[in-house]
């Protein structure tokens, strides 16, 4: 039985929650391997809605082990609050069901403040972040001055580590005109939250190696989408971590040979939150219609998502950078009733037709979509659970997408309900 890595194949918000929930029911261990609490999942289990942003999706299912890997940046105060919220809904969360990598980087209040200042300042580049401190925390990690989960267990060493951290941050804050951070107050905050976090701390790399050797099924759950990857996304309008499937190994401490199959999640159209290029964006009534039908508002921020036609160029590129074996196509029902649909098959850039998204930000901004018109369908796909229930033109649309992206559609979602799914191939059994 293969382990499975789930990655978003667009800019995030592809409907991973439903697919990950379905897969987590079959898994023994569910691992988050990158990002932080800036990306949300909405799960509906037995009629109960759970909104998660840091906890792995498997945490809501009895008998599963949820793991937060070292590639995740962890806001300890948010972690405690999210645990309390899920417990209030009747879910057991304990060190028996949740483990946290002891070498994961911490998000501190000063990271949130810096993130907010950068995004709201009148000058400078606006990325469209969630202002939750994700980027500044990753900066400190790479700068080798971050505090990590394991540091919470050594309060005597914390003052010197905080002093070193603030030597950087307070100099930066002075330059930005922000009040300096009081080291003693920060120490008190950290020490007070430590007892709530430390019981979950573990050597995740060793834990996962043991689970793998015991033959347990492991699901690696990515947040956001590969087009927001700091290396392979629409830089600089990206997140601060690697999102591609290879990060599942780095961000959890397991060897790449153990990753198994890669399932990409993509919408039957395209959306994006925040700033940055979006070649197929529709700013007309059609874009508004896609947004209203698809209820395109962010789980974490509530921000309205930008909407456009399916971009096969981008998904084809993600298939390659992530090594995707199959795609779970979601929200097909949102396209019901359109007389015709457009699919982007290439870009026109400075008079030339290209088959990829260029790395240059200015070139990305100039890239114009080359569309192929395909017939729409009058019937409904909503709630379909077999190919026979789909209108013929809807099947043709799915088959054309497969041809253009170079990967099979192995799961087809036709509504937010987990049962409304057409399964071609179970990635755990492939």
**Which residues are part of the catalytic machinery?**
13, 41
Count the neighbouring beta carbons within 10 Å of the beta carbon of residue 191: 12
Structure tokens at 107: 């998000």
Report the relative pairing of strands 340-349 and 105-106 from DSSP bridges.
Answer: unpaired
Q: Round to whole Å and give the CA distance between 88 and 199.
A: 19
Residue 324 CA to residue 14 CA, distance in Å, equals: 15
Structure tokens, 229: 């990857």
**CB of 149 closer than 8 Å to CB of 201:** yes
- Say if CB 95 and CB 200 are below 8 A apart: yes
- CA angle, residues 396, 398, 400, in degrees to nearest 5: 70
In a 3-state reduction of DSSP, which class is residue 196?
helix
How many other CB atoms sit within 10 Å of the CB of residue 105? 23
282 to 8, 250, 285, 289, 291: CA distances (angstroms): 21, 37, 8, 10, 10
Pairing of strands 29-32, 4-8: unpaired
Q: What is the 3-state secondary structure (H, E, C) of 268-311?
A: CCEEECCCCCCCCECCCHHHHHHHHHHCCECCCCCCECEEECEE
């Amino acid at each position: 039985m293969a382990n499975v890595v789930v990655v978003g194949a667009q800019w995030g918000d592809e409907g991973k929650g439903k697919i990950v929930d379905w897969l987590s029911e079959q898994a023994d261990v569910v691992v988050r391997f990158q990002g932080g609490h800036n990306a949300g999942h909405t799960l509906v289990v037995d009629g109960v809605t759970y909104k998660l942003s840091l906890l792995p999706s498997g945490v809501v299912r009895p008998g599963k082990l949820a793991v937060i890997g070292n590639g995740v940046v962890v806001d300890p105060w948010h972690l405690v609050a999210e645990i309390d919220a899920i417990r209030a809904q009747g879910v057991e969360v304990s060190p028996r069901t949740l483990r946290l990598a002891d070498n994961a980087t911490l998000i501190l209040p000063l990271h949130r403040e810096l993130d907010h200042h950068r995004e709201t300042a009148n000058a400078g580049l606006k990325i469209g972040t969630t202002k939750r401190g994700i980027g500044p925390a990753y900066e400190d990690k790479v700068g080798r001055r971050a505090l990590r989960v394991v540091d919470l267990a050594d309060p005597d060493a914390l003052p010197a580590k905080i002093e070193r951290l603030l030597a950087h941050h307070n100099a930066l804050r002075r330059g930005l005109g922000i009040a300096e951070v009081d080291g003693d107050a920060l120490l008190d905050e950290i020490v007070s939250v430590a007892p709530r976090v430390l019981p979950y701390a573990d050597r995740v790399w060793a834990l996962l190696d043991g689970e793998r050797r015991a033959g347990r099924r492991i699901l690696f759950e990515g947040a956001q989408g590969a087009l927001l990857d700091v290396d392979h996304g629409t830089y600089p309008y990206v997140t601060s971590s690697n999102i591609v499937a290879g990060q599942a190994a780095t961000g959890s401490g397991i060897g790449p040979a153990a990753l198994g199959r890669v399932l990409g999640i993509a919408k039957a159209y395209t959306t994006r939150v925040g700033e940055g290029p979006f070649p197929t964006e529709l700013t007309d009534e059609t874009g508004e219609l896609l947004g209203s039908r698809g209820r395109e508002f962010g789980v974490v921020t509530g921000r309205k998502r930008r909407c456009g036609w399916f971009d096969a160029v981008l998904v084809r590129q993600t298939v390659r950078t992530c090594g995707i074996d199959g795609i779970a196509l979601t929200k097909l029902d949102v396209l019901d009733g359109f007389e015709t649909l457009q699919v982007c098959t290439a870009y026109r850039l400075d008079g030339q037709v290209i088959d990829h998204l260029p790395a240059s930000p200015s070139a990305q901004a100039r890239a114009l979509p080359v569309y192929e018109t395909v017939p729409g369908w009058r019937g409904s796909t909503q709630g379909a659970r077999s190919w026979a229930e789909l209108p013929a033109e809807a099947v043709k649309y799915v088959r054309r997408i497969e041809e253009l992206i170079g990967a099979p559609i192995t799961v087809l979602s036709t509504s937010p309900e987990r049962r409304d799914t057409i399964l071609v191939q179970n990635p755990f059994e492939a």
